Structures are given as structure tokens and as C-alpha cells.
Amino acid sequence: MRTHTLVPSLLLLGTLSLTAACSAGSSGLSGTASPDARPGSGPGSSPVHGVDPSKIKGLEIVNDSSEQSSCRFATSYPDVPGAGAMTAAMKKDVEQRLTTFREGACAGGAGGELNVSHQFLVASGDALGVRLTTQDGSGAGSGLSTRTYWYDGKAGTYRTALGLVAEGSRDAFITALKDQLRGREGFDGTAFDDTFSDPASRDAALDDMAFTADGGLRVGFDRGEVGAPAAGSYLVTVSKKTVTPWLSAFGERAQRQTMAPSRSLDLGAANTPAPAVPTHTASGDDDTDCKKVTCVALTFDDGPAAPETATLLTYLAQYRARATFFTVGQNVAAHPDLVRAEAQAGHEVGNHSWNHPDLTKLPPEQIASQLARTSAAIKAAAGKEPTLFRPPYGAINSTVRAATGLSPVLWDVDTEDWKYPDPNKVAQTVIDKAQRNSVVLMHDIHPTSVAAVPQILRTLTARGYHFVTVSHLRATL
């Protein structure tokens, strides 16, 4: 049996922080201070009717992320059955940005952070709209860009934002945008004319459009496209009355479904069975005494994910092992049933922010909102608010601590499973490094990490380990 070491206990008590390591190289994310620059809450987010993504049949969220302070990225986009061409467009954009970031900022050790979060704009009838918000802190400028993607279920076609406006009306629409922008602080008429004289740059500038709840069409311009306001980016809304005659047939349907969502989304996908959700139920409280036996806390971050989390729950149940899930709010919203299943099976559900930004780079009100929004989603799913949070990248400072009542949890065994998609390597790392009272970091968004779990449970169980939640470990130490 291994000896008890001091380090895991310190980590558990939250007295050892990674602040120094993580605040170094804090370049690039200056744009996050402006209201429009909040990841996951890009232009036009507030006036739109809320879409409940858990109602979208067969929805999967495609996640990728690291948990390392030297290479901070978290990306997500939805994969909706029937909208394959739209998913392919998002996948291409996200993978391109991620590759550039990993080959540049990560490999060069330049620091910075890449965050791509998603938001549903409409998911009703035959209209689907999604906005991706990218915060790229590896370069100069605010690094914030937004783009909306559309799927026309009636035509079975992916459409860009400009596809909301009829081709013959685009010149009139652009003139209306210029009229509204004229006089705005920092607006550059020459830059506007340059951008709109070339079809390719015009399409790129008009890549973020969505309807407001009252039927207006709101256009978001990334900083620099038509000028540079002192803070944030330009948002222009063309009223319903003005814009309606200019809309394409799909634009009209998307407008109608945004204003009054009529029914569930139906893109004509042939077969979208909901993945099975395990129904294990914990038999009462865990009475493991970690003073007497060897305990270890497995923690799984960034989920829930379908179908990986469901598979993991089945493995854990086979060994009567309990674990802690640090869930990301935008994934909780997509898969509340998996969060409910985690809680019912006796696992602990913790908070890992809404869309995985480095919290130390955000102002206090955004830190609070990232965590409060996620706690609310967890409570709605599992019936109980979390008491623990894990800061993305382990990045924490006094501002983050002051912004929440949640207790921070770091880790002492890092599998680096985001970097090594190899079940044997991941399992071996845990088996070699886990000590009594260790907190082990893994991610249930990766099928290879989940595949490593049976070997971990089998080997460590044979060595006398007991798998408990973080709160249980803290309470019995």
C-alpha cells in the first residue's frame, strides 16, 4: 500500500493554487472586458427566444479541450441529425482554428487561449440556426469573432447567414445597414465600401445574422470589418417591417420560427433514436471510511457527452465506484438526462463553468455568471445545486475565489488524456501515479478516456482502492 502524501490533501483543501503558473503569459484576451466579447453570449443572444437543446432529438455536442495552462483551448459545436452539411461547415471552421492554434500558440508556448462556444438561435419546424462565438487570444486585437450557421430542412440545404436575405434585395439591405452605421462612433465609411465592393469580403462581413424575438434581423460585425468602436463590436438591427420584404423564402420561415417556435425541430432525419441513459441507483449514502481504507477520487471533466458519459456510468456501476463529474453548462443544457443519471447513481456533479473559459481572464461579473448559469442548469437537471467547481485549466486567483461560493477542486494526477487518445496509456498513468487520496483528472468527452476506465477500476480495486466522490473524500479525511 502506498503512503499517504501531503500534496493531495492540500489540493483537496484548496490551499494550493496554480495561480502563479496560470497567470503568466496573460496576453491577448483584453477584448473579454467588453460586454459583447463574452464567450457564448455574442451579439443578439439576449433578445432571442430561449431554445431548449435537450428537446432536439439525437443531438450530440462535439467537444474538444485541454486542461493545461500551457495550451488552453476548448471548442464545441452541435451535431444535429439531418443537418449534416451544416455540421460539416462548423466542423471545418472549428478544426481549422484549432489546428492553427495548436500548431502556433500551443507548440510555441506563447500562451493565449482559444475558445469556441455555441448557441442555438432557432430549432423549430424546419429551421435550425446556430451561432459559434470564437475568442482567440493568441493574436492581436480583441480576437472575438462570431458566425451564424443555418439549415433549411425544407430544401435539405445548409445556408450561410446571407442566405436569409433574397439575392435581389441584398443591395438594398446593405444600404440600410450603412445608413444605420453612419454616425456610430468609430465607423469607417471607406472600410465599409471596401468590404462591400468585393463579394468574398462582403459574405465574410455578413456572416453573423439572426432574428430578434420581434422579427428584426440583427447583424453583428466583427471588430475592424467596418470600423473600430471603442469597445465591443457593432450590432445593427433592421426592423421587421423594413427587412421582411427583403427576406428569402427560408429567411421568412426562420423569422417565423424564431418569433413563435411552433413545434419540435424536424429536419427529416430518417432515424434519430435517443441514446440509452443508464438507470443505476445508488443504494444510500457512501459509508466508505477513507481514514481506514485507501480512497481515490476519479474526476471527469467537460461533459456530459453522448454516448461517452452513458458508457462510463455503466462501467462505474459494475465496480460500485463513485466519481465526480465537473460538467460544462452548455453540455448540461444539451444532456440533462445524463446529469440526472450521474446524480441518481450516487456520483457527485460539480461545476466547470458554462463554456470553459480561463476564468482569471474575465471580469468578476462574468465569472459569477459563468458559474451561476451552470449551477442553475445542474439544479434543473439533477435537482440539487453543486457545491464544488473546477476552474478550467486549473486557473484560479483571488478574483475567481471571491466571485463564487463554490469550493474549488484541482487535481494531483493528470492523465493528459486530451493529448493521448490511447486507453492503455491513460489507464497506466492512473495506475502508476494514483496515491492514497489522490484526485485524478480525466475527461468523459473522449471515448478513449472512457475506454481506459475498466482497466483502472479492475487494477486499483484489486489493490484495495475505494472510489469515492471528492466531497466524500474531503468529509472523511
List active site positions: 301, 443
DSSP secondary structure of 21-61: HHHTT--SGGGGGSGGG-TT--TT-SSSPP--GGGSTT-EE
- Residue type present at position 253: R
Compute the least distance from the CB of residue 64 to Zn ion, in Å.
Answer: 11
Q: Which residue is nearest to Zn ion (CB)?
A: 301
Compute the least distance from the CB of residue 67 to Zn ion, in Å.
Answer: 5
Compute the least distance from the CB of residue 353 to Zn ion, in Å.
Answer: 8
Reduce the DSSP state of residue 346 to 3 states and report it.
Answer: coil
Reduce the DSSP state of residue 414 to 3 states and report it.
Answer: strand
353 to 392: interface string for Zn ion, x by CB under 5 A:
---------------------------------------x
Would you say 359 or 434 has its CB closer to Zn ion? 359
Would you say 67 or 113 has its CB closer to Zn ion? 67
Question: CA-CA distances (angstroms) from residue 405 to 340, 351, 355, 386, 402?
Answer: 23, 12, 19, 10, 8
Please report whether residue 302 would count as binding Zn ion according to CB under 5 A.
Answer: yes
- Give the integer Cα–Cα distance in Å for 60 and 184: 40
Q: Are 88 and 113 in contact (CB under 8 A)?
A: no
Segment interacting with Zn ion, rule: CB under 5 A, options 61-69, 135-143, 163-171, 453-461? 61-69
Q: Of 157-216, which residues contact Zn ion (CB under 5 A)?
A: none
19 to 58: interface string for Zn ion, x by CB under 5 A:
----------------------------------------
- Residue type present at position 6: L
Would you say 372 or 442 has its CB closer to Zn ion? 442
Where are the extended beta strands (E) located within 403-470?
407-408, 413-414, 439-443, 465-467
Segment interacting with Zn ion, rule: CB under 5 A, options 105-113, 193-201, 294-302, 381-389? 294-302
Compute the least distance from the CB of residue 463 to Zn ion, in Å.
Answer: 28
Where are the extended beta strands (E) located within 313-414?
324-327, 348-351, 388-389, 407-408, 413-414
Please report whether residue 444 would count as binding Zn ion according to CB under 5 A.
Answer: no
Helix (H) or strand (E) holding 135: strand 127-136
Q: Of 391-420, which residues contact Zn ion (CB under 5 A)?
A: 392
Compute the least distance from the CB of residue 301 to Zn ion, in Å.
Answer: 4
- Strands 217-221, 234-238: pairing is antiparallel
68 to 97: interface string for Zn ion, x by CB under 5 A:
------------------------------
Question: CA-CA distances (angstroms) from residue 463 to 203, 431, 458?
Answer: 61, 10, 9
Q: Which three cell numbers stand for residue 410?
A: 484541482
Give the residue, chosen from 36, 136, 301, 348, that forms a contact with Zn ion under the rule CB under 5 A. 301
Compute the least distance from the CB of residue 314 to Zn ion, in Å.
Answer: 23
Chain positions contacting Zn ion, by CB under 5 A = 67, 301-302, 392
